[in-house]
Amino acid sequence: MEEVLTKAEDRDLLAFAKGFLGSYGTYGFQCLNKRDADLLLFYALETSGVLDSRNSNHEAARMLRLTPRRLAALRRDAWARWAARADVQKHLADTLRAAFQVKALKRVLAENLKSWKDDRLLPILLEHPSGHAEVEQFLKSVHSIPHYARNREVLLLPHDQVLPLLETASEALDTKRVREIKKSFAASTTLQEYLTEDISRLTWDQTRSVLNNTVGAMLEKAAVDGAAKGISALVLGVLGAG
C-alpha cells in the first residue's frame, strides 16, 4: 500500500482523501467495523485513480501484494458495499470503451470467428466484478440468458444488445449526440436503406434499431478488419471519448 500511495499523483491522492474522508465522515464515524472501513478505503483508492479500476486483477493484486483471487473478491465486495450508481456507470463506460477499441476488438474477433460470424455473439472480457455483474444483470433484465466463453470472465453479448447495453452506461444519451448520430445516417445511402421515414423525425428507439441492424450486417458480411473498425466507430460514437 505504501508503494501505491508513494507513486500516486497529487491530484489522485487529493481525490482519494476527499472521497474516503467524505464517506467515512458521513456514514462511518464510530459506526463502521474494520471490514467495512477496509472496503471503503479500497473503493476510494479505485474511484480516485490512485488504483486504476481498469487494471487487470493480476496487475492490481501485484501492486497491493495480494493474490488475484483475493483482489477480485475485494473488488466485488467493495463495489457492492460502497459504489454510487454514477461510479458504476462510469466504470462500465470506461470498460466498454477499452473493449471496443479497434485494436482490441480486431484481436477478439479474429480469435473468436465462430462466435460472431455464426452466432452473432461478441465476446467481452469483463475481469472487474462490478462491470461483469452489470452486464450479467443487464442481459437478465432484457430476458436474455447470459452466455459465457470457456473463460468465465468473458461474456458473449448478442449483437442486438450492444447498443441497449451502452445506454445503461450513462443516465441518458444527450440530445446533441443523438443528433450527431442521426446526421451520420443522412450521409450514408447504405444506412438509409433501413429507414422508413424522414430521418429528422427518428426517435432514439428507432435510431437504435437502425444501429442494431447495421451491427448485424457488419457481423454477417464484413471481414475481421472491417467489422472491428465499423463496430468500434458505432460504439465509441455513442459512448463518446470519455
pLDDT for position 206: 64
Q: CA-CA distance, 128 to 79, in Å (whole number)?
A: 10
Collect the ranges in the chain with pLDDT lower than 50.
Answer: 172, 185-192, 194-197, 199
pLDDT for position 76: 96
- Give residue 146's identity as a one-letter amino acid code: P
pLDDT for position 207: 64
Is 57 in contact with 71 (CB distance < 8 Å)?
A: yes
Per-residue burial over 73-111, b = 16 or more CB atoms within 10 Å of its CB, e = otherwise: ebbebbbeebbeeebbbbbbbbbbbebbeeeebbebbee
Beta strands in the chain (DSSP E): 121-125, 147-148, 154-158
Domain ranges of the chain: 2-83, 92-239
Beta bridge partner(s), residue 123: 156
Tell me, yes or no, if the pTM score tops 0.85.
no
The pLDDT tens digits for 138-171 are 999 988 889 998 889 999 998 888 888 887 876 5
